[in-house]
Amino acid sequence: MPKSILIVDDSALVRKQLSEMIASLGFDIELAKNGQEAVTKATQHQFDVITMDINMPVMDGIEAVKQIMQAQPTPILMVSSLTTEDATITMDALDLGAVDYIAKPGTMNIGKHANREEILAKVSSLSRISPRRLKRSMSRRTTREPHRAESSRTSQVSDTRTSRDLEKIILIGSSTGGPGLIEQICAALPANFKHTVCIVQHMPEQFTAAFAERLDRACVLPVFESKQNMELLPSTVYLARGGVHMGFTKKVSGKIVIREDKDKGTCFFQPSVKTMMESALELFDGKSLVGVILTGIGDDGADAMVKIKQAGAYTLGESEESATVYGMPKEAYDRGGVQEQLSFSNILKKIATLR
């Protein structure tokens, strides 16, 4: 029996473009032109995946996501324009249970091979997420740590530490299903956490800026979107900027800073987990590194996890039991790059209590 998809968008052109593309997957395709119509159809039939526009008449995509996830949990792929405003709204949709997002046709050329490949890969992967796994993922969202109060922020003014004081560097990679987990990790870091956290979450530039702000609000430690020549400091979290690779380099002065690379190279994703981890290994002793691979499509970071593990790094991979999409962590585990494969809740504890 073929899988089914509901394409929700108020633009007839977008519905047509997505339908023609997704037809190559052999899915049964149903259409809806607003959120209310989507809720009605999604509660009458269990679709394998839904693509959801944000701004629509009658009912917008955010309210539709909320109602669908309450009545009939379904893997939802948000269709978002690459604007800061839509990035913030899309993050809200992920909070409500949407799993991932794609660029709205018109924002990027939908006929472009790389974009088409990404859309098809995401639709295909989301369609394999079982209702049981989706409900478990939603349960993790509702039990996560609340946002911190502004007054709890550790004062950085009197902190004179520099990159020369770095001890451990925690390198985290995630993709589909990852933003909520990254936010939980940041919220769980204690005020006395002395290590540096570097994160690659696959998302475009406009999204990483909004996401970094969101993480900063949730975290006692400061969270920054990475920038060229930004110094790497202890007790600080860095989110790789979208559209460039994040690496590291040492200045003549001895200061260790972030090095950005606009050349995508052979990597499908930019930023890539692979580039971050391999760059860290060139600069730091393997024993000072901790590698973490969370939920996501594909194999980004799998070979790099092998390399840093062989160099003495402590490596963690999310288990199939908890991963929304068991792609990246599976590849890292199968290739021998994972020292411990754990559920996300246990990975969270390992990171937060790292000494």
Supply 292's token pair.
């973490």
Please tell me the distance from the alpha carbon of residue 244 to that of residue 150, in angstroms, as a whole number: 31
Three-class SS of residue 31? strand
Residue type, 100: D
Supply 273's token pair.
């987990």
- 100 catalytic residue (yes or no): no
In contact, 312 and 290? CB cutoff 8 Å: no
Please tell me the distance from the alpha carbon of residue 208 to that of residue 337, in angstroms, as a whole number: 27
DSSP 288: G
Torsions phi, psi for 261 (to 5 deg):
-130, 115
Please tell me the distance from the alpha carbon of residue 224 to that of residue 229, in angstroms, as a whole number: 13
Q: Examine residue 271 and say whether the peptide bond preceding it is cis (omega within 30 degrees of 0).
A: yes
- 245 catalytic residue (yes or no): no
Alpha helices by DSSP H, listed for 158-316, are 179-188, 205-218, 273-283, 302-310
- 113 catalytic residue (yes or no): no
Say which of 80, 300, 319, 322 is annotated catalytic. 300
Pairing of strands 256-261, 245-250: antiparallel
Residue partners of 111: CB distance under 8 A and separation at least 6: none
Say which of 202, 235, 288, 322 is annotated catalytic. 202
Please tell me the distance from the alpha carbon of residue 280 to that of residue 49, in angstroms, as a whole number: 37
Say which of 80, 127, 163, 175 is annotated catalytic. 175
DSSP readout, 234-270?
A: TTEEEEPPTTSEEEEEE-TTS-EEEEEE---TT-SSS
What residues are labeled active site? 175, 202, 300
